[in-house]
Amino acid sequence: MVSLSTWFRYIAHKFEYSVALSWKNYKRGQITDREVGDAVWKNLLQGRLSYLHWNKGEEMTPTVGGGTLLVRKLPATDPAHVFVGDVVVLKDPENPESYIVRRVAAIEGYEMVSTDANDEPFVLEKDECWILADNDKLKPKEANDSRKFGPVPMTDVVGRVMYCLRTAVDHGPVKNSPYGMRKDMPVLMVELDVDELAKNHKA
């Protein structure tokens, strides 16, 4: 049973996302200024704040591995919405047509220092983030993360992973940053449907 306060927080998140999405579509010229209000209400009443994503590969083992993920749509991909420690879905820097799942290890303003003494330290620039695989058994090139291709634009992030179903009996919330988990809790409580995850799961 979802509490009334959780529903209010959920509706507030939906309103924020609806406004952000409608404004983005307006700036792209996809809707007119007269259609903005209608678009906000349509997204608020009909849209969902999550979608399903199938993850394959061992880069994020043991966090997700191969599994069906419930991903939170974000109103913006900036330091106010994406935090260090979050597991995110983002465009693959080496293949923009596909998506990968990695953990945000650093964001703009962080100084990056290499274990290799020959590499110069550097600071992540505005709207950049550093992403890493969770599987520490993989070598950097195998992990296919920022150690291989460097910083990535935060605009490449498309959502935060809230829940993972690996098998019908092995599923649960994904450990993100405390900020991310707190923001996502109302969405998770309202939109999580384990039966739907299991039905769409690829064995």
Instruction: Indicate which CATH number applies to the domain containing 163.
Output: 2.10.109.10
Structural domain span for residue 38? 1-47
71 and 155 co-located in one domain: yes
* Residues labelled as active-site residues: 59, 102
Specify the higher pLDDT residue, 47 or 85. 85
- Could you tell me the pLDDT band of residue 82, with boundaries at 50, 70 and 90? very high
82 and 25 co-located in one domain: no
Task: With 0.85 as the threshold, say if the pTM is over it.
Answer: yes
C-alpha closest to that of 83 among 160, 174, 162, 186: 160
**Helix residue ranges, H only, the chain:** 4-27, 36-46, 140-143, 146-149, 178-191, 194-199
pLDDT, residue 104, reads 98
20 and 79 co-located in one domain: no
58 and 38 co-located in one domain: no
Mean pLDDT of 14-31: 90
Contact between residue 164 and residue 174 where contact means Cβ atoms under 8 Å apart = yes
Q: From the CA atom positions of the chain, what is the Rg in Å? A: 18
38 and 56 co-located in one domain: no
